[in-house]
Amino acid sequence: MCHDPQTVARRHFVVTPYEPDGDQLRPQLPDTCPVEAQDGQSCRLFQDHFRARKTGPAFALCVMRCRTHAIGFTLYPPGYTPWGRKPWVCEGVVAKGEDEVEDNAEWFRNTYFEATLDAAQGVFWPREKTSDSDFAIPSDLTQECHLSRAIRLLGINQEPSLREIFAQLFYIPGQILHDAAGIIEQAPNRADLGRAVCTVLEAIPSTLTRVFESLAICGAAVGLWPPLHVWRPALHRLLPRPFPAGETQAAVITA
């Protein structure tokens, strides 16, 4: 599902590590909310409840509220984004060494990029209509939607100057994104679209340990979810992670 950028901007996206606590996973709790940095008022935070989900992480997510700023926000584990049924990156997989994975794109197996990987291999999801509650059976329309979202998320459909910024975030040569954009502009079939996107995924270096943060930053820039904030326990700070385009950011969101 794609969301209106103005609606997305009013929400909050906070990522924090979850750690084992007995037979449950508990988050490391931030001591400020995403609004605190804007007005400097001290936050009064409390854990409101844990929200079980039918899809996404296989454990309940903590929902916090701030009495000072009258907001609530969910704490997401690394890899997951708001409204996400699957992760964008499987936690830990991108920390592998150069010689452990022959195809970097395969890091993204069992994530939202599964649709891209399958399309690139000529595997097309079935057209059968399934019930709204049956998330386990993918559909043809779902594959098309996920593939389209991957193109947006990686910045392939952006203007050339903005593609350069996306490329810098992923530590890849800008020419790779430009070449993928040239293929997509020709409106190829789904298999060719998948292969074009896979050339980008394959270029992301295995030494890049913060692939998820780069994806989350770019996804916020194109309006897929709210701007990212990351709780850094070692620094004891909730850090905003904005798209590094400065005054061009609005142009990305409306693209």
The string of DSSP codes covering 112-123 is TTHHHHHHHTT-
Report the distance separating Cα 194 and Cα 188, nearest Å: 10
Neighbours of 165 (CB within 10 A): 21
At residue 138's C-alpha, the angle toward residues 122 and 55, to 5°, is 135
Question: How many residues does the structure list for the chain?
Answer: 255
Q: Which of the four pLDDT bands, split at 50, 70 and 90, describes residue 16?
A: very high
Provide the pLDDT for residue 176: 97
What pLDDT sits at residue 132? 56
Token pair for residue 93?
Answer: 């997989």
DSSP of 127-174: -----TT--SS--HHHHHHHHHHHHHHTTTTS-HHHHHHHHHHTT--H
pLDDT tens-digit map of 204-251: 987 777 899 999 999 999 999 999 999 999 999 999 999 996 544 544
Packed helices 140-153 and 190-203: angle between N→C axes, nearest 10 degrees = 40
- Residue 103's pLDDT band (cuts 50, 70, 90): low
Q: What is the band of 10 on the pLDDT scale with cuts at 50, 70, 90?
A: low
pLDDT exceeds 90 at position 97: no
Average pLDDT over residues 14-18: 96
In this prediction, residue 127 has a pLDDT band, given cuts at 50, 70 and 90, of confident
Tell which wins on pLDDT, 170 or 104. Answer: 170
| pLDDT reading at 102 higher than 70 | no
Separation between Cα atoms, residue 2 and residue 149, nearest integer Å? 9
pLDDT at residue 231, as a whole number: 96
Q: Out of 53-57, 71-75, 136-140, 173-177, which region has the weakest mean confidence (pLDDT)? A: 136-140
At 212 the three-state DSSP class reads: helix
* Percentage of the chain exceeding pLDDT 90: 65
Write down the mean pLDDT value for the chain: 85
DSSP string, 224-255: SSPPEEEEETTTTEEEEE--TTGGGHHHHHT-
Mean pLDDT of all residues in 93-100? 45
Q: Which of 252, 143, 153, 255 lies closest to 200 in space, CA to CA?
A: 153
Rounded Cα distance between 32 and 251, Å, is 30
Sorted by sequence, the CB contacts under 8 Å of residue 246 that are 6+ apart come out as none
Grade residue 138 by pLDDT with cuts at 50, 70 and 90.
confident
The pLDDT assigned to 23 comes to 86
Q: How confident is the model at residue 105 (pLDDT cuts 50, 70, 90)?
A: confident
Average pLDDT for 5-13? 59
* In contact, 246 and 103? CB cutoff 8 Å: no
Please give the pLDDT value at position 208: 73
Q: What is the pLDDT of residue 248?
A: 47
- How sure is the predictor about 1, in pLDDT bands with cuts at 50, 70 and 90? very low
Number of H helices, E strands in the chain: 9, 8
pLDDT of amino acid 3: 44
- Dihedral sign for Cα 117, 118, 122, 127, please: negative
Name the residue among 174, 210, 181 with its Cα closest to residue 197.
Answer: 181
End-to-end, the C-alpha distance of the chain in Å comes to 17
